[in-house]
Amino acid sequence: MKQTCTNINVKSIIRTEIQNSKIYRNERTLSINRNKKKKHVPKKDKISKSQNR
């Protein structure tokens, strides 16, 4: 019983680590995208786009 419990714990820890890494990557790409958008698109266009949606 103890072995199965530890295995489950390790799996859950690995899953959370993977999720955290995915979230970290997503945040990095989002910030990169934001930086790219800032250079190309002025703020007024962003506001109008958000209102149209």
pLDDT at 13: 85
Is residue 15's pLDDT more than 60? yes
Q: Please state whether 40 falls in left (phi above 0), alpha (psi between -120 and 50) or beta.
A: alpha
Domain residue ranges of the chain, discontinuous segments joined by +: 2-52
Q: Please state whether 7 falls in left (phi above 0), alpha (psi between -120 and 50) or beta.
A: alpha
pLDDT at 42: 60
pLDDT at 39: 59
Q: Nearest CA to 27 among 15, 39, 19, 38?
A: 19
Confidence band for 51, pLDDT divided at 50, 70 and 90: low
Mean pLDDT estimate for the chain: 72
